[in-house]
Structure 1
Amino acid sequence: MTNPTTIPLITLNDGRQIPQVGLGTFGLPDEKVILRALEIGYRHIDTAQCYHTEGIVGRAVRESGLPREEVFVTTKLWNPDHGRAREALEGSLEKLGFDYVDLYLIHWPTVELNKRAEAWAAMEQARSEGLIRSIGVSNFTPPFLNEILEKGTIVPAANQMECHPTYRQEAVEAANTAAGVVTVAHTPLGRTDGVNNPVIQRVAAELGRTPAQVILRWHLQAGRVVIPKTSNLARLEENFAVTDFALSAEQVAAINALDGGSTVSTMNGEPRLADAKAFDEREGI
């Protein structure tokens, strides 16, 4: 079993620290998997208003017996609520049963509503009051990130985005890095093209590891935070055991070469899938 102290911590631009390996919770029916994750050593749990798992995340943290401050919890502002971010945050805190959330993200830029700056201002205010420790964004391409940088007074601490070996989004990650924003990789293992990729499987065989562990280690060595989601207890442990080996420079280069495109495909600056709600519901990001 991996000790939680072996999971690296990344310092955000506001001085707070985030564990580099977390657990995504979309689709979980109850707190059992989260409780087991906390027993294994996970100290970073990712949820969102639209996942309908905030309640079970809060219960799991309380039932674990761990001090609240030892568990880093992220939740997110859902698309229709950009104009009522304060009320949405208070609703999330009530469901969680917490006095504060460690990281609060704007889930999608939501072009049609066009209230990102209003949402960000409300989040800055809530942060100043201690209801949020860190604030950030999710699925923001460079034009949307630049808007927040220009109109806000606080630089986002993180940008949670799809990132995996066959879809690296180098341009988005480069924009994050240039602004001092940590990249949090959702869907970090990819879909069918991740663990089943022959290159990944070859590297896994060379290291005596699973393909999932190889991909997660690749992310960690690049300095990203990862939040793989699973309800399988064996994979829960597998995804956490990624700190006692390393990829060689040659192995990293081979995985980097799998990228199917270095720039994000957009429509009017939106991420590549226009139907954000349907994508969230299907993929659980």
Structure 2
Amino acid sequence: MRIARFSIDGNVAFGAVEGDAAPGNEASLVLDIIKGIPFADFELSGTKVPLSKVRLLPPVLPNKVVAIGRNYAEHAAELGNAIFDEQGRPDAPITFFKPSTSVVGPGDPITYPSFSQDLHHEAELAVVIGRMCREVPRERVKDVILGYTCANDVTARDVQQREKQWARAKGFDSSCPLGPWIETDLDPGDLTIQCTVNGQQRQLGRTSDMVRSIEDLVVHITEAMTLLPGDVILTGTPAGVGPLNVGDEVAVTIEGIGTLTNKVIKRG
């Protein structure tokens, strides 16, 4: 099931997306409005609205976004970072946060921060948590996941390098586009991830190239903290990250989910 969060006539609701979501077919999609919320038992109301008549919102408003750095070897290498020890074993995952205020939805602008001159795109698979969980054993990871969506871990690369920690570089307003919806019926083990800027391909990778699997990441994170329904885990980006400029349109496409598109604007 594809679950979207949307607004119509000033009201916010969730709906199940029906129809073929292939590029070019958006006009034929409809939303069956959900009774309740997707983090508990719910029913479809049977009341349907065309997707073209609503505004898609971020599919969730997370309490926190927990992000993973350097989870694709080729991306780590392109930035000159090692991720394996002398015995060839992967280092512990690099974990950081993006605040809830960084989250925007499909079609929302990415605002170029005034304190940076080197903004980068990072296409990522996002995991949406479906229930409160802590110390999740590996065999129970699937039970705590609601589904998956597209993400862009937008990064002020010069600030990241200059400040040696990532709070401002990756946590500024609009630095975490999510969407267009949550796909609940998906095997995330080997999906194509693609990023284009103004229609030109920049990133192309597969989730099977992750150094740490989704199961590894959920176990690692929940050893330290409780995850709440709607929290999001960003799983890392493949190689090919590069600059964004004001006026650029950046699109993240993940096999089996769809495409998340945002435009970069100047900060007012």
TM-score interval (norm. to shorter): under 0.3
Q: Which has the higher contact order (CA 8 A, sep 6+)?
A: 2
- The structure whose residues are more often strand, as a share, is 2
Q: Normalising to structure 2: TM-score of the pair?
A: 0.27
Q: Normalising to structure 1: TM-score of the pair?
A: 0.26
